[in-house]
Structure 1
Amino acid sequence: MSRAVQIDQNGGPEQMKIVDVQVGEPGPGQIRIRHKAVGLNFIDVYQRTGLYQLPMPLKLGMEGSGIVEAVGEGVTHLRPGDRAAYASQPPGSYCDVRVMPAMNVCKLPDAIDFDTGAAMMLKGLTAQYLLRRTSPQGGLKAGDYVLFHAAAGGVGLIACQWARALGLQLIGTAGSDAKCALAKEHGATHVINYAKEDFKERVKEITGGKGVKVVYDSVGKDTWEKSLDCLQPLGLMASFGNASGPVPPFAPGILGTKGSLYVTRQTLFSHITSRENTQAMADDLFAAVTGGQVKIRIDQRFPLEQVQDAHRALEARKTTGSTILTL
């Protein structure tokens, strides 16, 4: 038996209940993993509220770390006893033990502890595909300006550090002076408190009126219009989240008048559709962490029993860095 967090209908944090579930043996292509820690992400909120519609009842959680207990037929990259971590479909990581697909589960290097492993996979792989695989025309090179919203969050702090290692001039936005200071401390070249300043005007000022090559935006509705105005001609708007709500429909013609802009809506799970891609991206992330270029900051820890409080803190934007659930 295992504890698991489940919802029976979409709604607020109060919909999450801890239930006891039977855990069986892994089938072909599956593993059974006993978690040591579990990651908390905004995608969990989207699934809970119904912004991302999934069948009910629904078990939540997309990220975790732990010990592999058993492997099914055809699984060759993992063995019982391996330390492992993952960001993976389907949801269900908010639990003690689970059976799950093995494809996106990676061996965790000995130099990375379980808490860090649980905190880094979804957010770290997201930063990896954004900075390394989601590029504007002509690519990114040292010295280029990029704008990164929510720079003090879990993905943002990783991206700040990774961008610095790549020589990029990352302009980070956040909603308070303290969060801006945190982003700056982690490698942002410039920071903008959007609660006090017009980030569009500040970006123009910082870049001498030229704008940025790419905007990485997980905020959505509240930042969309001004973000387009921050881009250079032929720049790329890379949307990867909806923290303030989904972007409303827009006329494609505005992309032409604003400089023949490119727009993409990215999700991690489009990038990790194969074992090979998952491992290559994870290896890049592991190397950045073990090499010291990226440090994973865990600022909040909640026991599984306090999962409702964890979601409330995340939605109220009271968190910085990564948040994990402890077991």
Structure 2
Amino acid sequence: MSFRYLNPKENTKFKDRHTIKVEDRKQWYEKGKKADVGIIGLPFSKTSISYSTASEAPSTIRNALGSYTTYSGEKDEDYSNVTMLDYGDVPIHPTDTEETLKRLQVSVMEMLETEACEKSIILGGDHGISFPSISAFQQKYGRVGVIQWDAHHDLRNLEDGGRTNGTPFRSLLEAGVIKGENLVQVGIRDFSNAKAYAEYAKEHGVHVHTMQDVEEKGIRSIVSEEIARLKESVDMIYLSVDMDAVDQAFAPGCPAIGPGGLTAGELLTSVALAAKEPLVKAMDIVEVDPGKDVRDMTSRLAAHVMLRFMYT
């Protein structure tokens, strides 16, 4: 029997013949394939200090790519030639946190070993995924510099609860994966951190830029200066974007929302600026909680961050 309208093999989604969506340029990884950007999902949020469904974020951010086209009107340039390989999501162990962290690190390392892409995007998950992810890049490249957009230092002690989404950068520093002077924190927010962790950052030489610094110096100036400094002492630069760095008005779907953060424009502009540097090889996006989001606002912003990283 033939149908007049139904076609079980086709997607019935509306398609404009002149419009290419970002998701159209994404393929699933297969051996031998090459692309400009690799994507991997680390859907882990069981170590979040507050309740979070950030484990669902990789799928919602991927879905949000369907909201954007490959054409930049501001640059009058079509990026439809930029391709993506999606490595899928790492399966999480249901109860064993250390086993999960091992799986995350091994999986990111395996992605890098395929040498199929020049840049990598890691979709969390809570910020705890940055510890295994950055550890994998350190194994691959050597000296790693990190620019972290965040309201929080994420330098909490490990005695009160072990590894959580508040400890990744302390874990990296104490494991010797990164050096304090090679860690840059941008957007640290007032009344959001303990004095002990501000002092820990200072003692270890972490370059901390608060929201007051952003307001006084401008985020472009801060990022430009830090990129210029880092490139003299590291082998690669990794961007870590905690979406709670953004003001709650622009990113309501985060476990730790708050006022006084970055605007969406400041985040997008600064990520795009950093991504122009050839030493910037990877970026993670973390702390998107779809269960707390409003009309996928935060996932859509995260997807837009991906575009600013890819289309440079």
Alignment TM-score, normalising by the size of structure 2: 0.36
**Larger proportion of strand:** 1
What is the TM-score with the length of structure 1 in the denominator? 0.35
